[in-house]
Amino acid sequence: MQLLLDLPEISPALANVVETNPKKLREWLIGLPTSNVIEAGRQIHDALASLNRIELAVDERVKLLAEYEIMLDMMAGSFEASYAANGVPAKDRARQTATVHRNLWHEMATAWKVALVSRLEKRSLFGASGKADPLFIQRVLNSYWRFYRICCRLYMPMPAGAWSEIHQVFRLGAKNQFLDEPHEPKNHSIAATYKRILLLSLADPLRFALPEQDKLVELVESYGHLAHFQPITKLPSHAGYFLIELDSDMPPRYVGSKIVEGPGMTSILLDTTELSRHLHKIEAVIEAKAPQAHDRAKVQARLQILRRIIRQWAIAPQRIYQRIASQTRVDIVFGLRAVGAQLNHGLPMDPPLKDAAALPELAPLPLPPREIRLSQWQVLNESPGGFAVRSVVVPDGLAHAGEVVAMRAGAESAWMVASVRWLQVNDDNSVEMGLQVMSARAVPALIRPTIGAAPLTYLPAVLLPEIATLKQPARIAASKGTYTPMRELSILTPTGEYKVRALKLIEQQMNYDLFDYQSDPVPPA
């Protein structure tokens, strides 16, 4: 098969400046100022890019690439620590570090593509079978796996052409019947590496906060081999089958029982039914241990992440409403504390005076004015269920996946409460965000458990009134870790104090718990 890969042009002038001695290259790499990852990373990138643009024997090139990979592995932790801690958009230095790290692995993918094509051309000249070395294919896919993981951490999509190249090199491995090679522990098989990339995409990683992405990658690496490829002779009508169009520049997608237009010989299915069964068993074990767990909140968080991933790998969520283009400008505030203050006419909620005087430790944490940061966004499209928005004026690090926000169309408009469902950072550092509406009539509140070894601080929350038309009961969005089944909670609203009991957890995101509750009397809407 003919590979249509994006390869750099050869520049003979670079031949005199590229280090081609593996020992000297190793010494140079070790001597780089690795305490400054940006400077070291840029030097490595320039050297690697130069190597990719000269003629060199394949075996010599492979030895050099091994040295570069070792160095990138050693620096991975330093890179991630420099840019992964904050929200989006990233601050200048974090953005620079992230860009360098992303570019390095993109250039490494290019390096292995050059080696792969060189090996294929060499074998053709001598009339050999034309089979590529499976190691080269695996290293191209591994480089793209590392590159894609960085893209996810930066909330950036795959660039144009990346999926096409990933599919092409996989097809080359399938054509030569060595999908299960190589076998070395470090070099996972071609099939296993390809499955990892597919499953990470199907999980929709831009919906997960960074710590949740770490758990997602852990699950992909541990259990991704349980997904299987199937021919597309028949599209099953049940969950767990995803279409891969190998001649396209598209990620895999869920099709269900839909008729696929012209799925020829270049389309296959990814079957996740065995993977889902195994994860359901893990879910049952965690669920059984949760009530006796020492750190129940941590176990519950792990359980919720697992359930979200299982849903993604069974049936990818489909948009219910048609999106309508819009150009509206909106104001948005992030976080339960800021949301509660805006719903309370811009004032932080306060506990009853008698409680604050008798037990000062029950007072809510103060909300400095700087924390209520109003950001401006442009609505790209909207539907009854949510909005897609793009940043206009947004402070660095403000947006986080799985955050509660309040949004209004103007200074005189009412605040609407929503949840951040996905984030995407564009090449120009603008941020796009998907919001799912939670309520247009939310009530600000403070909340704390009534029973505990010591008085507990009130934390911000919002009450979401019942939506009768959707048969949705009243709910509470509170700080992560608030929910425990049947837990009694004290809630303060602008109209008084109520005792409620937590009933059913609806979802747990990185920054909040959403759960049904019962109360007597019922809090006002």
Rg (CA), the chain: 26
Judged against a pLDDT cut of 60, whether residue 281 lies above it is answered with yes
pLDDT at 373: 83
In tens, the pLDDT along 424-462 reads 999 888 999 999 999 999 999 999 998 865 557 889 999
Judged against a pLDDT cut of 90, whether residue 115 lies above it is answered with yes
Q: How confident is the model over 33-42, as a mean pLDDT?
A: 95
Q: Which two tokens mark 145?
A: 């796996």
pLDDT at 365: 47
Q: Are 473 and 437 in contact (CB under 8 A)?
A: no
Judged against a pLDDT cut of 80, whether residue 367 lies above it is answered with no
Confidence grade of residue 162 (pLDDT, cut at 50, 70, 90): very high
Q: Which residues of 173-189 are buried (b: 16+ CB within 10 A; e: fewer)?
A: bbebebbebbeeeebbb
Judged against a pLDDT cut of 50, whether residue 356 lies above it is answered with no
CB atoms within 10 A of CB 93: 11
Q: Are 392 and 376 in contact (CB under 8 A)?
A: yes
pLDDT at 354: 46
Q: How confident is the model over 120-128, as a mean pLDDT?
A: 61
Q: How confident is the model over 482-510, as a mean pLDDT?
A: 91
Q: Are 134 and 186 in contact (CB under 8 A)?
A: no
Distance CA 2, CA 46 (A): 29
Q: Which two tokens mark 228?
A: 């299987």
Distance CA 205, CA 214 (A): 10
CB atoms within 10 A of CB 27: 12
Distance CA 335, CA 348 (A): 13
Which stretches of 311-374 are assigned E, i.e. beta strand? Answer: 324-325, 329-334
Give the chain's length: 525
- pLDDT above 70 coverage of the chain, percent: 86
pLDDT at 455: 55
Judged against a pLDDT cut of 70, whether residue 257 lies above it is answered with no
Q: How confident is the model over 225-244, as a mean pLDDT?
A: 82
Reduced 3-state DSSP string for 21-57:
CHHHHHHHHHCCCCCCHHHHHHHHHHHHHHHCCCCCC
Q: Say what the pTM is.
A: 0.88
In tens, the pLDDT along 169-197 reads 999 999 999 898 886 656 689 999 999 99
pLDDT at 301: 87
Judged against a pLDDT cut of 70, whether residue 86 lies above it is answered with no
Confidence grade of residue 488 (pLDDT, cut at 50, 70, 90): very high
How confident is the prediction for the chain on average, in pLDDT? Answer: 87
Burial classification of residue 127, based on how many CB atoms lie within 10 Å of its CB (0-12 exposed, 13-18 middle, 19 or more buried): exposed
Q: How confident is the model over 64-73, as a mean pLDDT?
A: 97
Where exactly are the structural domains of the chain? 12-187, 228-312, 324-519
In tens, the pLDDT along 376-400 reads 999 999 887 899 999 988 888 889 9
Confidence grade of residue 517 (pLDDT, cut at 50, 70, 90): very high
